[in-house]
A and B are shown apart, each in its own frame.
Chain A
Amino acid sequence: MKRMQCPLNGLRNISEFVYGGQVTTMPNPATCTDKQWAHYVFYEDNDIGVMREWWLHAPSGYWFIAERHNASDEIVRTYDASECFSSRVDFSASETAS
């Protein structure tokens, strides 16, 4: 079976992992237009090459990022999300939103 390097648990069978979509840049929900938000929700990068993706190691409930080639299926690198994300996003509804 194909295996993947989990940054937390080491090399594990691919069946222990769940794919969670590409890592995309979220627009500011408070200021972006509906169209920009729709684009963020529905569109991903549709090129062929190495993509940055969210993966979950299901048994340990750990989300991380993998760089994987989406045609050769080669996993180039896996790492903790803290390499890309340093702060929490606050989703509490703002006063002005209607």
Chain B
Amino acid sequence: MPFALLKFGLNDDYPYEREPDIPAPRDLKSHYDVVIIGGGGHGVATAYYLAKYHGVTNVAILEKAYLGGGNTARNTAVIRSNYLTPEGVKFYSASVKRYEQLSNEFDFNIMYSQRGQLTLAHTDATVRAFRQRAEVNKHFGGRTELIDRQAIAELVPTLNLDPADLPVLAGLWHRDGATARHDAVAWGYAKGATQRGVELHQLTEVTDILKEGNKVTGVVTNRGRIQCNSVVQAVAGHSALLARKAGFELPLVAYPLQAMVTQPVKPFLNPLVSSSALHCYVQQTSRGEIVIGGGSDPYPLYSSRSSLELKESLIAHAIEMFPFMSEMRLLRQWAGITDMTTDYSPIMGLSPVENYYIDAGWGTWGFKATPICGWTMAELVASGGRVPELIQPFALERFSHFRQVNEMGATAASH
């Protein structure tokens, strides 16, 4: 193998890619079979699976800014499936399975790194909730167990087990927990989709939705009108605003979510560590930076500004967990607008408008669901509206019948 590599290195035919990965934009056509609004991970994954597995290639992805520049670029890339409800666990496990194969699927390295995720319990109530989560997870084939202080100390020797008068009582150890390079996920899907004929149009904002009766017929963009047979909207923080243009409401509230990274240091932290009592989670990237994330802003806002108060409290809690981090410098900090549902589950599937499909309510936890969202949304579109079983519990209708899928305990502050 090293020989073969050396040969490539010296050879003129070194197989670098001469073609750009993602073809340059063309003019918009007047008609597409499918228009996907939002060029984030969810949108491009849907296009990819439509093109690759359903042969639907007359597809346009319309992105108002640039590919993967929304929450796909802003998230902290925690991938896990240790949720609380059977519906949630089944769904997120299916996503984790696709993630495990994704680099092979793309022939492109998404730097998937399965280091396990550890959530800390500081109260008896949390320990009880963890027991339930561990059992539900095991039942659906996930690798999740309750571990004690001793095991935690061995797993994360640098962790302060008695932070802020909140001694750690136990931990939920989720071996399937992982992280990946978020940009690579978006690029991998976009490359695979565009190579199969899908068009990605950046700087193309959808400003209105065209309907005939109750059926969607096209969209209006800043670059003109497009006719289409069906539409998928996957616009994260702007979901409810776009749905209004299509003529219906979504039960969402937009909250900013903030995060930050430090300068890179030598590897010291393998698992992803999270504490819901401290509203904080900490992990080290493959480049050595420490990513710090936490809970949402205290009140809703359609703005991705950051606030010093939230950053201060996040850092304070991170330092409680890892005291030596107080010497480190911050490199970057940012925020994204998240579309929160009251039950912390997404809204997926049919909408009140015919042939208009929704992938929304992804709040603070949707990066991990990118592959399975793309997969199920593609199936939904290709079948002309038959909702895959996996996403039936997440129908918009549940909010008219009080049939919420409550993931609050499993979602808040561990993303």
Contact = CB atoms under 8 A, between A and B. Distances in A.
A43 interface: yes
Contact of A15 (B243, B250, B302, B309): B309
Given A70-B301, A71-B301, A46 B400 contact: no
A19 B241 contact: no
Contacts of A34: 400-402
Q: How large is the interface on B (under 10, 10 to 19, 20 to 34, 35 or more residues)?
A: 20 to 34
A72 B303 contact: yes
Contacts of A46: 240-241, 243-244, 249-250, 252, 254
Given A1-B309, A19-B299, A73-B303, A48 B241 contact: yes
A44 B252 CA distance: 8
Please classify the interface of chain B as helix (H, G, I), strand (E, B), loop, or mixed, using the class held by over half of its residues.
loop
B300 A70 contact: yes
Interface string B287-325: 000000000001111110101110000000000000000
A71 B308 CA distance: 18
B401 A38 contact: yes
11 contacts: A2-B307, A18-B298, A19-B298, A19-B300, A34-B400, A34-B401, A38-B402, A43-B251, A43-B399, A46-B244, A70-B300
Nearest to B305: A73
A34 B342 CA distance: 18
A18 B300 CA distance: 11
Nearest to A72: B303
Instruction: With a 10 A CB-CB cut-off, give which of A18, A19, A35, A46 has the most chain B CB atoms.
Output: A46
A71 B302 contact: yes
Interface string B88-118: 0000000000000000000000000000000
A72 B301 CA distance: 8
Nearest to A1: B309
Interface string A49-83: 00000000000000000000011110000000000
B253 interface: yes
A35 B401 CA distance: 7
A85 interface: no
Given A1-B309, A15-B309, A43-B251, A48 B399 contact: no
Contacts of A71: 301-303
Nearest to A55: B299
B399 A38 contact: yes
Contacts of A15: 309
A42 B299 contact: no
Instruction: With a 10 A CB-CB cut-off, give which of A1, A2, A38 has the most chain B CB atoms.
Output: A38
A46 B251 CA distance: 9
Interface string B171-199: 00000000000000000000000000000
The 10 closest A-B pairs by CB, nearest first: A19-B299, A46-B240, A42-B251, A71-B302, A42-B399, A38-B400, A43-B251, A35-B400, A48-B302, A71-B303
A14 B240 CA distance: 27
A1 B310 CA distance: 11
Given A70-B301, A73-B301, 7 more contacts: A1-B309, A2-B307, A19-B298, A39-B400, A42-B342, A46-B250, A73-B305
Interface in B228-279: 240-241, 243-244, 249-254
Contacts of A35: 400
A21 B87 CA distance: 28
A95 interface: no
A90 interface: no
A72 to B, nearest CB: 7
A15 B310 CA distance: 10
Instruction: With a 10 A CB-CB cut-off, give which of B243, B299, B301, B305 has the most chain A CB atoms.
Output: B299
Contacts of A48: 241, 302
Nearest to B244: A46
Contacts of B240: 46
